[in-house]
Amino acid sequence: MKKIKGLRCKECGHESPAIAKHVCEFCFGPLEVAYDYDAIRAEISKEKIASRPHNLWRYWELLPVETRDVLSLNEGFTPFWKSRNLGKLLGLKNLYIKNDAVNPTFSFKDRVVSVALTRSRELGFDVVACASTGNLAGSVAAYGAVGRFKTFVFIPADLELGKIVGAGVFDPIIVGIRGNYDEVNRLCAEIADLFRWAFVNVNIRPYYSEGSKTLGFEVAEQLGWRAPDHVVVPVASGSLLTKIHKGLREFHQLGLIPECHTRISAAQAFGCAPVVTAIKEKSDIIKPVVPKTIAKSIAIGNPADGYYASQTVLSTGGVGEWATDEEIIEGIRLLARCEGVFTETAGGTTVAVLKKLVESGKISADEVVVAYITGNGFKTQESVQDRISKPYTIEARLSEFRALYENLVQTKRVENVGSLEMKLSV
């Protein structure tokens, strides 16, 4: 089966061959992969998908590669569950958590990178590169190493240590730029014009972004082959949000789910919210901003797919909402305490926005709601380290613990949960 028809311009519809290219030569609009859906329909079925290994390549027919020899580290098919405590706390009866923080390099970026590097290899590249807000760097570095590519990752120099170490361990060339992501991205666009490299989020972007559809596919499959009523998605470039919607629509179009009326809501940090601002103002124009937020993984001031993300939210009846850095940290702690998941700032943004949407009545109690948790908190410890419970350090002597315990009871840090007199005798 040949499933890729070519690349199609999202603006003027012009079609071109499926090479490493992301802009339309006629109107400069972004290019998207065009599929032969008739061929795909003839091949795909729920039974076939369900019989395959638990990674995103179970949706092979709907991913933009022709090869079966894929570059995979078993990304995807991540945990999905009905909320244990957060739903009750917020007053939602059907809240689900999609935990993409436990992919091979601990963010959802492994989805897009597995697809992008498989396609890059298929197109004959031996150098891969990316412009990253942090998570993409680690993912490209890992898959680049396993795929035996020469790997360059470009990052803002002031990234969190966990993200620099998390990329460096795979031994890529890391280039730290003194500037924010938008400046890194601009430089990478210039480099991509000069070097015949596969820049996953520049010239490989049409293929790369398709990997995000699997976060729509999986949730539908894990819900028992149906679409949720409402999803809350963190937004950086806007690609993930747009593609979750595309994934759900494709499933419906191919008869894998009965209907798709999912409302798609966007979550951004208040200090970098160009997409949410456009949604709130119902504007077609995304005004670039200079990011200022602890949520670095989603700090893109001039988002490539911002327009399409805002259109997706508006056309599905979703909502755009932001969260302050304070609310983001609260969101991280809330998810940790309620669901046992330590997410990074992007996930904190999702949870904070979810809470605001419930409180303002924009999500109702009975809706089937999915909160997308896209990154792991162990990579951004700086953002919460001063705000969480710290160890009480004592000598290894019962008398010291007794003193500490009495102090905790007296200051009401804990109730008297053991009998001081009966159980602790010095």
Ligand X SMILES: *Cc1c(COP(=O)(O)O)cnc(C)c1O
User: Which residue type is seen at 27?
Assistant: C
Closer residue to ligand X in complex, CB, 234/301: 234
- Map tokens 């601009």 to a residue: 186
* Geometric angle at alpha carbon 306, from 302 and 310, rounded to 5°: 145
CA–CA dist 380, 135 (Å, integer): 10
Kind and range of the H or E run holding 218: helix 214-222
Smallest gap from residue 195 Cβ to ligand X (A): 23
**DSSP per-residue letters across 354-400:** HHHHHHTTSS-TTSEEEEEE-BBGGG-GGGTTTSS--PPP--S-HHH
User: Which residue type is seen at 133?
Assistant: T
Closer residue to ligand X in complex, CB, 302/374: 374
Residues of this chain that interact with ligand X (CB under 6 A) are 107, 109, 135, 234-240, 297-298, 344, 346, 374-375
Kind and range of the H or E run holding 119: helix 109-122
Cβ neighbour number for residue 89 with a 10 Å cutoff: 14
Smallest gap from residue 300 Cβ to ligand X (A): 6
Smallest gap from residue 185 Cβ to ligand X (A): 11
Please give the residues from 27 up to 56 whose contact with Zn ion meets the rule CB under 5 A.
Answer: 27, 29
Q: Give the Å distances, CA to CA, from 298 to 146, 194, 238, 376.
A: 26, 28, 9, 13
Closer residue to ligand X in complex, CB, 339/344: 344
Asked if 176 interacts with Zn ion (CB under 5 A), we say no
- Partner whose binding site includes residue 27, from Zn ion, ligand X, none (CB under 5 to 8 Å by kind): Zn ion
With a CB cutoff of 8 Å and minimum separation 6, the contacts of 315 are: none
Binding piece for Zn ion, criterion CB under 5 A, among 24-32, 154-162, 195-203, 415-423 = 24-32
Closer residue to ligand X in complex, CB, 156/405: 156
Smallest gap from residue 374 Cβ to ligand X (A): 3
Binding piece for Zn ion, criterion CB under 5 A, among 2-10, 232-240, 269-277, 403-411 = 2-10
Closer residue to ligand X in complex, CB, 372/405: 372
Closer residue to Zn ion in complex, CB, 26/392: 26
Smallest gap from residue 191 Cβ to ligand X (A): 19
Residue 104 Cα to chain centre, angstroms: 13
